[in-house]
Structure 1
């Protein structure tokens, strides 16, 4: 990973300064940002670009192999570069009207709609940007209809599993320092820090997802609609 000094040194010519100037504009707002993984996803005119501090999927980086505007923006978001930048995810993604958003939701199966309701509860009231679910045909329905998109969030991949289930999965690896009595949250952090190479195997039947950005403006209205449609599902709230 490039350190702070390295990032400052990348701004050493006119072309790089132009890229930095583009990075601070609201048009370069990431539609997803994962601070723990130091990655972000940006919406281009026709493609999305996954960006880390060392590479980017955009044409500019692939062609020039120099820090692009997306990488500079990620460095700004991470606090590795100083600078004031503009953010507005509503302007850089095509937002659905309430009518269109509800149309997208209502064509789904009831089971899929209940997953959306469950996700939006955690998103709106527990401040969860991403959440993990077991792979299923219903989840594929939500992904294929672009209600959710897959995201890169190692911690979220552990959401579907209980602590005892994780203990059973981890124990065969005989990792030094493994403790069965850890609370799930601490256990997940321990795995990510100590044995990141086994995360893919431990969570092979799970996927981390986030809400498609086109629902950013209407997500509260979608949740209210689903809460009225399936009232018995959230009496516990």
Structure 2
């Protein structure tokens, strides 16, 4: 019996070109990219080439791209970076239809005294921009929202929602894990401060993701000591 795979929103098979490059990295370019010798330099060039490719996908400068272990880590890093940078801001806004990698960190913060406000969506999965505007307060640290829903495919207008946040001086994190590879992303034209990606949603490996950081956005690593 022939089996056909239809679950690409969950994960995608590796592209043959990706397999080829991964094999080269595992077998030949295995050096520590922080090492100042031939093998380290060769590995570092591989890392930076990958960073440039992600930047081309997002239409941004390569130095705005931070690699993570996946979209979930990128989401967590964005949320915690915004919170840690603003200790007096204890209010967070998200929606009721977020991925667990956003809803669970927010619940973690709620248990530690933060107020988390979850905005509803209508019957077609749309978010009311006016409701977002009304929810933002002087002590709002971050708005974290899906850009493309992983279950329904609904797209939210990141330009409209981001403009509301930017006008009120509130950081915006966009989860674009399901958007990348399906729609064009010009992140530096969007009013977002953080944008999350996951490689395995667009024919890359599991265990690899990226976080875009606007130049003024605060950032704190989740794993410290390794650069």
TM-score by length of 2: 0.27
Structure with higher strand content? 2
Bigger relative contact order, structure 1 or 2, given CA contacts below 8 A and separation 6+?
A: 2
TM-score by length of 1: 0.26
